[in-house]
Structure formats: structure tokens, C-alpha cells
């Protein structure tokens, strides 16, 4: 499955919303720029009007004065008399009133009469005739001139008698001009008046205008209306649109920065995790899961869920494989079981048939019977192993710790196993001597220790054709352990099979192993026993050279070392005595027949009871009964109940349990119930005789 990428869509969304906002920002910017232009233009216009009006206001006092002076009859008279004295006393004294630098008078023919000047103007009679012609029409005028002393502002008026205040009824009697130099003090005053900076523009040189100011240009014209110079007025423009623009720029910058950050973080926080999820879903990428786990928020939880899922999946696969393996094992086990049961059964049925149907010599008959006996024993051991394994699985088997003499235990085992080694095998069988023989008694589960050793030594003997099989133990006081070793010079086991030979129903698939037979339970039971006693079991082997099985259990030394268990004496020679009558409680006819035949060998007198109730009754009625062989599982009344009843009236009577219940727990139960001893089916006649012997010795 291909997963559609989300990132391009997210990108498109971000970009399209960005475009929208950019357009919004630009339209705002455009609107602001337009508004700025508008306000600027209006302000300029307003400024221009204001300056013009202020200039008019500035020249008003001069105009008023000059108008008054030139409507004076005496002044008209002066243009004719040219009385210098009168002039000096009147007009000539008015320089300060005019705040001017030059005053000049012309007669009606435009001829220069006189002048008054400050030190600022040295030039005389500089007013052009044209200006006077102009005055004929207007009566009053103002114009500018460039003199060597600088730029001057000239006010002119035609002189008329006082009855012609508007200077339009009479002809001019002369002309009067007042001029002032436009010098720095003048401009300072004008700057104050107009609240502006003023600069004189000369020529065509343009002045660079900034946006923070408003400007207006005033043309200074001469009498001919030609521009003599220009004044540039500049005033601070307080509406700071520049700031608005700067804020806009800042917003746009912030917007783009935000866009970049958005993209980076969307990629990091959304797209990357989504991409990782896609990778996990597509191909279960482990690295992607790890990376997803260290992301933030929900994606991290998703990563953890993926991890859990992956673990569960692994476990499921493992369980599935295990189930398949166990299924396979079951089939192999069933095939093995069938083989292992059929082989001895074949021998039993086959040789029994031969015994029944053919004439045989005594030697042959004994040989066949031995085969039947051996096959029966094999069957029993298979059944024992199966039952034990299922009990271990059901946790019904628990260690039963008692004080055990290891030396006797090992020797006893040696004796018991030694006689089972087939004569055909050339095996040197011995006990590995240990240095620590001082400690004899330890606390352990004797039966289980024996069972483990029997399993391992029997295997060693089973797989070894010639060479040696040895076993023994060592006390490791330092580590508080008892180490047992069982070694052989058999075929050995491949290193990579070490682990699995301890698994149930696992056998090495080899010719020797197949020939030797077995269910693959011995080592599994041994391992379970060792672990039950908090110990460990291991194997060291080399193919072709042999195997060493070792197991160790914790060393627990009893406080009282006096309680030494004596080596059990080898079987004593049985001496038949007249021991009276033995009651055999047995419901099964064949089993009773077997007892009958065995007892005949020793000429014991026997009585049969078919159930527990009958056994109780017989014991009550026959005081000469000295021993009871009591079956446990019987109809009407079982062996335990019968024992209880008999003990009630004959507590001294010895009762031996004979049963097919073979487990350690059953044995314990029988011991606790008050049976003198117990013997498990199939009955071994030697053991039975020894037990009867012991019982009678005990009685006497
Ligand atoms: P089995 O009843 O098959 O002997 P075990 O559990 O006792 O079952 O042993 C499992 C397998 O381990 C055996 O089938 C055999 O292949 C291998 N094995 C056990 N002990 C020895 C030994 N001493 N030498 C060689 N192989 C051994």
C-alpha cells in the first residue's frame, strides 16, 4: 500500500494562507502609502498658503507706512521743491519705522531726487524706471532685486496729494522706494514668523527633500515679473508615515520569519512523525519506531504503542513458532511413544506366544522369559517417566528434604546400577573418589538425588559401548555446594545441542540414539528435579570422546552430625521360616495368581481377600494371620480404610502395602498411614521376600 503524502498538502495550506496574508499586508501598505501621499500633498498646499499669507502680513506695516507717506501733500511739494532739509527732518528720519536699509525718492519725470541708506546698502538710484512705470498703474508695488550688497526687497509707491488716497485720480507727483536687504537677521525673523527653515535657492540646483518635512517655494520676482531668486520654506512634517511603513516592513519580515519557523516546526512536529508512522506501517521499520518514541506529544505515545505492538507481534510469532514446535514435538513424541511401547510389547507378546505354542528347551525358555521381564521393566520405566513429567508440570512434585548420607547413597547406587550393565558392554564402571569424605550427612531430597544420578548414569551406560562410566560428588564448602559429576566415554553430544537435550521429548537424532531408544524425558526430569532443589545442571561434551554431565545443589549440613545413616546392607540371604499365614488383599485375579505363584516358591501359607472389607473380616476371624499384603485400590473398601480398621483391633499386625501407585507422594502417604512398608507393582519377588523377611525379623 502506498500512503499519500500529507506534507505537500500542509505545505499548500501554509503557502496559500501566506499568500492571502501577504496580499492583505500589501493592500494595507498600498492604502497607507496613498493616504500618506494625500496627507502630504494637502499639508504642502496648506503650508504654501500659510507662507504666502505670512509674507503678506510681514510686508503689511511697510505698505501701510509707505501708503501714508506717499499721500502727503508736503511730500508732493518736496518732489517739486526738492527741499533736502524737509526731507531729512521727515522722511529721512523714518528709516527705523520702516526697519529698512534704503529709501529713495524720484520726481514725476522719474529722476532721482535723494536717498537715505544704512551702511548695508551702498548702491544709490538702483530702482529701474520700469518699476516707476508700473507704479503709474498700481500705485503700490513690491519686488525684488539683486544688488551687489545682496538680495533686496523693494517696496514702491507713487506720490499723490492727500485727496487722492487711492492714487488713481491724480498723476504721480513722484516715486518713493523703500528697500531692505534680505540678510541673515531678516531670515531669522522670517523663520520665527513662519516657523520654518528658509533657504535661498540659487540657480537650478535642486535641493533634496526628505519626507519628514513639507516644503514650499516662493518666487522672488523683479519689477518685470522675472524671477530673481527663490525662497525654500521647510517645516517639520509631524505625521510619521515612515513609522507606519516601518511597522509594515516589520510585519512582513515577521510574517516571513514566522512562515519559515512554521514550515520547520510543521516538518519537525507533524510531517516527520507522520512520515515515520508511514514507514512503520509500510515496513515495520524499528529505527522509525525509536525515532517516533523520542518525538513529542501524541506521536511519542504512538511510537510507544508501536513498540508494544511490535513486542507483542514478536511474542505472538514466538508463541506461534513454539506452538508449531510443540505440535511437531507432540507428533514426534507420539511416534516415539508408540515405538517405545510397541517395541517391548512386541517382545512380550511375541515371546509369550513362542512360549505358549512351541516346544522349547529349558535354556531357550529362560532366555525368552528374561526378554519378557526386561521388556516389562522398560514399559514400567516409560510409564513412570510420563507420570513424573506430568506431575512436574502440574507442580505436584515438591522436594522432600531429609538428612542423607551421601557416601552410602552413592555406594548403594553404584551397587544397584552395576548389576544392570549388560555383559556385552566393555565398560569400566567406577565411583570418582572425593577429597571431602569427612562430611557424610547433608540435608537434601534423597529420592530425587538418586533419581537424577540413576537417569544420568543409565544414559551414560546406555550410550557407551566401551570405555568407562564414572560418577561421584564433591563438597564445595567455599561456595556451599555439592557438585555431582557423571562422565562417560560414549559418543558425546554436539555443542549446539547441549541446550535442547534438557528439553522434554528432545533427543539427539543419531543412529546410536535411535538404537538406544528412549522418550527424551530423562534429562528433562533430571533438570526439573535439580532446579526444584535450587541447583543447576550442565553438560560438557565432545563428539566421539564422551560427555560430562554435572549438577550442583546447595550444601546444607544438618546440625546433628551424629545421625549418620548406615550403609544399607546388601541383601541378606533369605532363610525361609515357618511364619504362619499371610493375607493377600488383591481384587485382580491375575495379580493374585502372581502372588500365589511367588508365595509358593517360599511355601508361605496364604489367604486371599478380594476387597478391604473382606480383609478386615478375615483378620478378625483368623488370629494366626501374621502379615497382610494390602492392595490400595480395591472395590468396596480401599487399602487405607482397611488398614485403619485392622489397626483398631490388631495394632501389632504388620501390613505391607502393595500397589501400582508408584510416586514419591503416594509412598509418603502410605508411610504416614501406618503401613509397615510398601512395594510397587510390578512386583519384584526378591524385594518382596526381603521385605517379608524384614517384617518377620522386626516382629520377633
Ligand atoms: P532418552 O530417554 O532419549 O535417553 P534423555 O532425556 O535421557 O532421553 O536424553 C535425551 C537425549 O540426549 C538422548 O536421546 C541422547 O541423544 C542424548 N544423551 C543423553 N545422555 C547422553 C550421553 N551420556 N551420551 C550421549 N548422548 C546422550
666-677 residue pLDDT tens: 788 888 888 988
460 close to ligand 1 (CB < 6 Angstrom): yes
508 close to ligand 1 (CB < 6 Angstrom): yes
538-560: average pLDDT: 91
pLDDT of residue 240: 58
- Ligand 1 atom closest to the Cα of residue 508 is 16
- Ligand 1 atom closest to the Cα of residue 510 is 16
- Strand 197-201 and strand 213-221: pairing? unpaired
552-565: average pLDDT: 73
H or E stretch at 591:
helix 589-601
pLDDT of residue 573: 39
The residue whose CA is least distant from atom 22 of ligand 1 is 460
507 close to ligand 1 (CB < 6 Angstrom): yes
556-572: average pLDDT: 54
Do the beta carbons of residue 266 and residue 10 sit within 8 Å?
yes
470 close to ligand 1 (CB < 6 Angstrom): no
- Ligand 1 atom closest to the Cα of residue 520 is 8
491 close to ligand 1 (CB < 6 Angstrom): yes
User: Is the pLDDT score of 575 beyond 70?
Assistant: no
Rounded to 10 deg, the angle between the 297-357 and 286-293 helix axes is 140
User: Is the pLDDT score of 256 beyond 90?
Assistant: no
591-595: average pLDDT: 87
pLDDT of residue 269: 83
470-484 residue pLDDT tens: 999 998 888 999 999
The Cα 169–Cα 309 span in angstroms is: 118
H or E stretch at 655:
strand 654-659
User: Is the pLDDT score of 492 beyond 80?
Assistant: yes
The Cα 115–Cα 123 span in angstroms is: 10
Q: Does 2 or 340 have the greater pLDDT score?
A: 340
pLDDT of residue 578: 57
User: Is the pLDDT score of 563 beyond 60?
Assistant: no
| Sign of the Cα pseudo-torsion (602, 568, 470, 538, in order) | positive
User: Is the pLDDT score of 634 beyond 80?
Assistant: yes
Query: What long-range pairs does 3-7 form, CB within 8 A, spacing at least 24?
Result: 3/278, 3/281, 3/282, 6/270, 6/271, 6/274, 7/267, 7/271, 7/274, 7/275
The residue whose CA is least distant from atom 2 of ligand 1 is 518
Question: 422 alpha carbon to ligand 1 midpoint, in Å?
Answer: 18
Q: Does 140 or 5 have the greater pLDDT score?
A: 140
pLDDT range class, residue 238, cuts 50, 70, 90: low
375-430 residue pLDDT tens: 888 888 888 888 888 888 888 888 888 888 888 889 989 988 888 888 888 899 99
Instruction: Tell me how crowded residue 461 is: count the other CB atoms within 10 A of its CB.
Output: 21
Do the beta carbons of residue 456 and residue 415 sit within 8 Å?
no
pLDDT range class, residue 438, cuts 50, 70, 90: low
488 close to ligand 1 (CB < 6 Angstrom): yes
The Cα 105–Cα 111 span in angstroms is: 8
The rounded percent of the chain whose pLDDT value lies above 90 is 34
How far is C-alpha 511 from the chain's CA centre?
A: 51
Q: Does 663 or 537 have the greater pLDDT score?
A: 537
Lowest mean pLDDT among 8-22, 609-623, 644-658: 8-22
pLDDT of residue 195: 87
pLDDT of residue 449: 93
288-307 residue pLDDT tens: 889 988 888 888 888 899 99
User: What's this model's pTM, rounded to 2 decimal places?
Assistant: 0.49
The Cα 548–Cα 564 span in angstroms is: 30
Cis peptide bond upstream of 682, omega within 30: yes
C-alpha torsion angle, residues 156, 161, 165, 171 (rounded to 10): -70
Do the beta carbons of residue 265 and residue 16 sit within 8 Å?
no
Tell the residue number behind the cell numbers 559418543, with chain if given.
491
112-131 residue pLDDT tens: 999 999 999 999 999 999 99
DSSP string, 268-308: IIIIHHHHHHHHHHHH--HHHHHHHHTS-HHHHHHHHHHHH
Instruction: Tell me how crowded residue 17 is: count the other CB atoms within 10 A of its CB.
Output: 12
**E strand map for 207-270:** 213-221, 227-236
Question: 508 alpha carbon to ligand 1 midpoint, in Å?
Answer: 7
pLDDT of residue 553: 95
User: Is the pLDDT score of 152 beyond 60?
Assistant: yes
Do the beta carbons of residue 84 and residue 114 sit within 8 Å?
yes
52-60: average pLDDT: 88
What average pLDDT is seen over the chain?
86
Question: 348 alpha carbon to ligand 1 midpoint, in Å?
Answer: 25
SS3 141: strand
| Residue 245: C-alpha distances to residues 43, 211, 213, 238, 566 (Å) | 19, 12, 16, 15, 112
Tell the residue number behind the cell numbers 516715486, with chain if given.
175
Question: 455 alpha carbon to ligand 1 midpoint, in Å?
Answer: 9
pLDDT of residue 395: 84
pLDDT range class, residue 569, cuts 50, 70, 90: very low
Could you tell me which of 155, 183, 196, 180 has the C-alpha nearest to residue 52?
196
User: Is the pLDDT score of 330 beyond 90?
Assistant: no
Which of 352-361, 513-522, 547-556 shows the highest mean pLDDT?
547-556
77-107 residue pLDDT tens: 999 999 999 999 999 999 988 989 999 999 9
Do the beta carbons of residue 70 and residue 160 sit within 8 Å?
yes
pLDDT of residue 201: 82
Do the beta carbons of residue 380 and residue 682 sit within 8 Å?
yes
User: Is the pLDDT score of 526 beyond 70?
Assistant: yes
Do the beta carbons of residue 630 and residue 668 sit within 8 Å?
no
User: Is the pLDDT score of 205 beyond 50?
Assistant: yes
- Ligand 1 atom closest to the Cα of residue 491 is 25
- Is the backbone of residue 674 left (phi > 0), alpha (psi -120 to 50) or beta? left
Q: Does 333 or 640 have the greater pLDDT score?
A: 640
The residue whose CA is least distant from atom 8 of ligand 1 is 520
Lowest mean pLDDT among 74-88, 127-141, 256-270: 256-270
The Cα 420–Cα 462 span in angstroms is: 10
541 close to ligand 1 (CB < 6 Angstrom): no
| Residue 317: C-alpha distances to residues 307, 309, 503 (Å) | 15, 12, 20
**Best mutation site among 486, 511, 523, 526 for ligand 1, i.e. most ligand atoms within 8 A of its Cβ?**
523
Do the beta carbons of residue 394 and residue 554 sit within 8 Å?
no
Amino acid at each position: 500500500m502506498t500512503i499519500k503524502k500529507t506534507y505537500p498538502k500542509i505545505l499548500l495550506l501554509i503557502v496559500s494562507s501566506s499568500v492571502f496574508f501577504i496580499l492583505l499586508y500589501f493592500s494595507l501598505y498600498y492604502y497607507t502609502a496613498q493616504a500618506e501621499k494625500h496627507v502630504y500633498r494637502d499639508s504642502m498646499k496648506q503650508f504654501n498658503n500659510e507662507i504666502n499669507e505670512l509674507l503678506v502680513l510681514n510686508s503689511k506695516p511697510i505698505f501701510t507706512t509707505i501708503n501714508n507717506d506717499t499721500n502727503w501733500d508736503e511730500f508732493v511739494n518736496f518732489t517739486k521743491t526738492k527741499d533736502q532739509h524737509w526731507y531729512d527732518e521727515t522722511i529721512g528720519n523714518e528709516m527705523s519705522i520702516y526697519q529698512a536699509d534704503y529709501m529713495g525718492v524720484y520726481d514725476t519725470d522719474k529722476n532721482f531726487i535723494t536717498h537715505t541708506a544704512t551702511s548695508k546698502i551702498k548702491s544709490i538710484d538702483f530702482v529701474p524706471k520700469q518699476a516707476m512705470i508700473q507704479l503709474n498703474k498700481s500705485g503700490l508695488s513690491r519686488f525684488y532685486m539683486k544688488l551687489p550688497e545682496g538680495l533686496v526687497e523693494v517696496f514702491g509707491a507713487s506720490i499723490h496729494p492727500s485727496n487722492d488716497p487711492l492714487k488713481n485720480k491724480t498723476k504721480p507727483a513722484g516715486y518713493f522706494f523703500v528697500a531692505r536687504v534680505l540678510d541673515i537677521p531678516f531670515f531669522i525673523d522670517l523663520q520665527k514668523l513662519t516657523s520654518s527653515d528658509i533657504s535661498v535657492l540659487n540657480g537650478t540646483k535642486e535641493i533634496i527633500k526628505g519626507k519628514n518635512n513639507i516644503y514650499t517655494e516662493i518666487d522672488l520676482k523683479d519689477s518685470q515679473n522675472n524671477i530673481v531668486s527663490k525662497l525654500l520654506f521647510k517645516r517639520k512634517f509631524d505625521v510619521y508615515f515612515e513609522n507606519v511603513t516601518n511597522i509594515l516592513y516589520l510585519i512582513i519580515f515577521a510574517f516571513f520569519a514566522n512562515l519559515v519557523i512554521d514550515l520547520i516546526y510543521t516538518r519537525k512536529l507533524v510531517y516527520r512523525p507522520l512520515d515515520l508512522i508511514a514507514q512503520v506501517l509500510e515496513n515495520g521499520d524499528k529505527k522509525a519506531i525509536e525515532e517516533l518514541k523520542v518525538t513529542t506529544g501524541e506521536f511519542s505515545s504512538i511510537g510507544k504503542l508501536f513498540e508494544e505492538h511490535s513486542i507483542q507481534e514478536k511474542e505472538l510469532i514466538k508463541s506461534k513458532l513454539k506452538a508449531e514446535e510443540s505440535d511437531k514435538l507432540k507428533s514426534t513424541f507420539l511416534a516415539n511413544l508408540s515405538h517405545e511401547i510397541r517395541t517391548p510389547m512386541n517382545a512380550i507378546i511375541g515371546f509369550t506366544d513362542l512360549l505358549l505354542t512351541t516346544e522349547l528347551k529349558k535354556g531357550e525358555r529362560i532366555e525368552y522369559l528374561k526378554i519378557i521381564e526386561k521388556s516389562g521393566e522398560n514399559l514400567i520405566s516409560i510409564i513412570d517417566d510420563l507420570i513424573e513429567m506430568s506431575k512436574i508440570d502440574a507442580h505436584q512434585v515438591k522436594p522432600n528434604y531429609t538428612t542423607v548420607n551421601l557416601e552410602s547413597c552413592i555406594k548403594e547406587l553404584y551397587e544397584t546400577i552395576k548389576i544392570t550393565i549388560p555383559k556385552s558392554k566393555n565398560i569400566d564402571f567406577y565411583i570418582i573418589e572425593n577429597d571431602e569424605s569427612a562430611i557424610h550427612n547433608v540435608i537434601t531430597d534423597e529420592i530425587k538425588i538418586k533419581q537424577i544420578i540413576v537417569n544420568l548414569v543409565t544414559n551414560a551406560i546406555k550410550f557407551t559401548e566401551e570405555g568407562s562410566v564414572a560418577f561421584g560428588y564433591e563438597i564445595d564448602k567455599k561456595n556451599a555446594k555439592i557438585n555431582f559429576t557423571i562422565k562417560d566415554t560414549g559418543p558425546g553430544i554436539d555443542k549446539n545441542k547441549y541446550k535442547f537435550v534438557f528439553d522434554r521429548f528432545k533427543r539427539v537424532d543419531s543412529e546410536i540414539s535411535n538404537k538406544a531408544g528412549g522418550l527424551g524425558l530423562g534429562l528433562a526430569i533430571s533438570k526439573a528435579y535439580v532446579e526444584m532443589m535450587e541447583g543447576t545442571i550442565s553438560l560438557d561434551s565432545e563428539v566421539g570422546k564422551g560427555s560430562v554431565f554435572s549438577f550442583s545443589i546447595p550444601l546444607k549440613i544438618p546440625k546433628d552430625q551424629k545421625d549418620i545413616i548406615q550403609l544399607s546392607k546388601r541383601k541378606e540371604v533369605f532363610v525361609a521360616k515357618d511364619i504362619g499365614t499371610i493375607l493377600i488383599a488383591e481384587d485382580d485375579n491375575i495379580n493374585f495368581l502372581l502372588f500365589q505363584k511367588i508365595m509358593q516358591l517360599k511355601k508361605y501359607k496364604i489367604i486371599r481377600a478380594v476387597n478391604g472389607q473382606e480383609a478386615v473380616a478375615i483378620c478378625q476371624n483368623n488370629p494366626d494371620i501374621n502379615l497382610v499384603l494390602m492392595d490400595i485400590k480395591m472395590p468396596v473398601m480401599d487399602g487405607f480404610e482397611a488398614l485403619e480398621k485392622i489397626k483398631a483391633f490388631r495394632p501389632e499386625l504388620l501390613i505391607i502395602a502393595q500397589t501400582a501407585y508408584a510416586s514419591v507422594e503416594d509412598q509418603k502417604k502410605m508411610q504416614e498411614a501406618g503401613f509397615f512398608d510398601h512395594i510397587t507393582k510390578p512386583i519384584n519377588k526378591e524385594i518382596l521376600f526381603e521385605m517379608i523377611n524384614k517384617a518377620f525379623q522386626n516382629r520377633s
